Amino acid sequence: MVLPMGPVLGKQLMIVGAMLIVLGALLRWWQPSRGGLPGDLVIERPGFSFHVPIVTCLVLSLVLSLILRWLNR
C-alpha cells in the first residue's frame, strides 16, 4: 500500500499534530484529581486510590469522532 504524498498529507499531519497539542494541553491542565466528570468512578481507601474515567472516555471519543468525521469530508 502506498500512502499519498504531497500537500494533502502534509496538511492532514499538521491538523492531527495541532489536535494532539491541544488535547495534551487540556489533559495537562485538567487532571482526574480535580473530580473529573460526573459518572467517573473514584474509589479511595487509605493508601489506595483507583480512578475509572468512564464518562471522560466517552466524551473524548465522541469529540474525536466528530472532528475526524468533519476532517474526512
Distances (CA, A) of 13 to 40, 51, 64: 32, 33, 15
Query: Per residue in 25-72, pLDDT tens?
Result: 777 776 655 557 778 888 889 999 888 888 888 888 888 888 888 877
The strand pairing partners of 50, in sequence order, are 43
* pLDDT higher than 70, residue 2: no
Check: pTM over 0.75? Answer yes or no.
Answer: no
Domain boundaries defined on the chain:
1-30, 33-73
pLDDT at 35: 59
* pLDDT higher than 90, residue 21: no
